Amino acid sequence: MSPTAAGHTDPRFIQSLLQSDHAFARVDDAPDPEFYATERMVAHLDATALETVEDVVGSLVTEEGPVILDLMASWDSHLPASLGASKVVGLGLNGPELEANSALTERVLKDVNADPTLPFEEETFDVVLNVVSVEYLTRPVHVFREVGRVLKPGGLFLVVFSNRWFPSKVVRVWEDASEEERIGLVEAYLREAGGFEIGELFVSMGLPRPADDRFHHLGFPSDPVFAVFAEKSGGPPDRPPRVLPRDRARIPMDREKVEARRKIVGETLACPHCGQKLSKWKVPDDPCIDWPNEFLYLCFNDACPFVVRGWRFLWEQGFPGASYRYLYNPETGASTTVPIRSLRDLKAGVVPEDT
């Protein structure tokens, strides 16, 4: 296994969150089957984030013809067609949603908050998936322990989450935690349950939302995807490591390359990160910022890798919800960055091409 993802947050702080009064209370503490009796054939994430989830599942599930449990399942199990699962059991609370899920070969209706035991034999599954649902568990450690029981040694437990949920059903500790602390919570559940080896963390942030998404006009980037995975201890020692999709390649700095790049940008006025033509941009009339010229050049490609990586990079530095765009100053030939909080930011200053 790869090194543990622990260390994102101080475990003592996570423990204090877990021990807080009513950590697992919800606004709606009525039995879950009541809330989930209503059919919700909705996408819980935007299309880009859903593609990422499928990618993560496809990368981590390496077993041939795996036997899979989709724990807290609905109408979509996010399994790539290439997975070739031999059996997929969906356990959830809404019958019609499970019926609509064509990946499932078996369907089980069960409330794991009322009774966290999983109705399966020991060592039944190669893989247990839990997608955008861990935040509803009121007894997560019991459920995780059960996952460990029904997984085969070396089997994969993949927990994927984002930053959206049903507000009345989310547990308080999840809502109170920051995005980073939520990773720490899932790791704490795994450690507390015992018998797992925690793998590397996956985070995808800042990809542009699809143009036809209902929140596109607000300038929000795509929903973030956080994935924590673990293997049940005791797997075969020669098992190849599970490899996450790479989205965080960093390009090392090299002075000569930077100079060459600066020259090319001056000649082409194209973004060095994505190749898209830079836009002429009129600086805002803001007395608090001393802009060097009246016009600068910016990359406004929302899918530019520089912008996409920026959300994650700044999140890692403790500035969630921000990224930056590439900026070129034609007077000095200098490149720098401008911070943004939304993909819409700064666009008002774009000067139309023929002006």
Rule CB under 6 A: which residues touch ligand SAM?
32, 36, 44, 72-74, 76, 92-94, 97, 110-113, 131-133, 136
Q: Which is nearer to ligand SAM, 36 or 313 (CB)?
A: 36
**Placement of tokens 């935040």 in the chain:** 135
Question: Minimum CB separation from ligand SAM for residue 282, in Å?
Answer: 44
Q: Which is nearer to ligand SAM, 25 or 251 (CB)?
A: 25
Burial category of 172 from C-beta neighbours within 10 Å (exposed 0-12, middle 13-18, buried 19 and up) = middle
Distance between CA atoms of residues 85 and 122, nearest Å: 19
Q: Which is nearer to ligand SAM, 22 or 40 (CB)?
A: 40
Distance between CA atoms of residues 75 and 92, nearest Å: 10
Q: Which is nearer to ligand SAM, 42 or 348 (CB)?
A: 42
Kindly give, in sequence order, each residue whose CB lies less than 8 Å from that of residue 250, ignoring residues fewer than 6 positions away.
Answer: none
The conformation of residue 185, written as its DSSP 8-state character, comes to H
Q: Which is nearer to ligand SAM, 213 or 302 (CB)?
A: 213
Question: Minimum CB separation from ligand SAM for residue 191, in Å?
Answer: 23
**CA gyration radius for the chain?**
23
Q: Which is nearer to ligand SAM, 163 or 233 (CB)?
A: 163
Question: Minimum CB separation from ligand SAM for residue 94, in Å?
Answer: 5
Question: Is the sign of the CA dihedral 318, 319, 323, 327 positive or negative?
Answer: negative
H/E/C letters for each residue in 27-61? CCCCCHHHHCCCCCCCCCCCHHHHHHHHHHHHHHC
Strands 87-92, 125-131: pairing kind: unpaired
Using alpha carbons, list the distances in angstroms from residue 148 to 15, 151, 157, 195, 262: 21, 5, 8, 7, 53
Distance between CA atoms of residues 74 and 249, nearest Å: 33
Distance between CA atoms of residues 66 and 300, nearest Å: 43
Question: Minimum CB separation from ligand SAM for residue 310, in Å?
Answer: 27
Q: Which is nearer to ligand SAM, 44 or 242 (CB)?
A: 44
Question: Minimum CB separation from ligand SAM for residue 98, in Å?
Answer: 8
Contact 129, 77 (CB under 8 A): yes
Question: Minimum CB separation from ligand SAM for residue 161, in Å?
Answer: 10
List the alpha helices (DSSP H) in the chain: 11-18, 32-35, 47-60, 95-99, 140-150, 172-176, 179-193, 255-268, 305-316
Cα of 283 vs its chain's centroid, Å: 34
Q: Which is nearer to ligand SAM, 54 or 126 (CB)?
A: 54
Q: Which is nearer to ligand SAM, 24 or 220 (CB)?
A: 24
Distance between CA atoms of residues 322 and 339, nearest Å: 7
